[in-house]
Amino acid sequence: MATQKRTSASAKEIARLVEELENAEAYEQRLRQFILDAKDELARGNTSVALSILNQALNYIDSAADVVTGTGTGSSP
């Protein structure tokens, strides 16, 4: 009985960790896309558009849930 509870708890913890890792990877991919988009705009000479994209990236970082701990949203005061 105790072994079954530990196995169930371990499976839940593994599922939680896998979900956390997937969320972190999606977050990283989105940030990489912001950077690529900004680089493309800079290459085209559109500095104001690139700055706007980078501002969007900063807003995304500031408003995203804490990827490391999985708690809270936004920046703390």
pLDDT of the residue at 30:
96
pLDDT of the residue at 9:
81
pLDDT of the residue at 3:
73
To the question of pTM greater than 0.85 for the whole model, the response is no
Round to whole Å and give the CA distance between 24 and 4.
30
pLDDT < 50 positions in the chain: 74-77
Round to whole Å and give the CA distance between 46 and 50.
6
pLDDT of the residue at 7:
82
Round to whole Å and give the CA distance between 48 and 50.
5
pLDDT of the residue at 47:
98
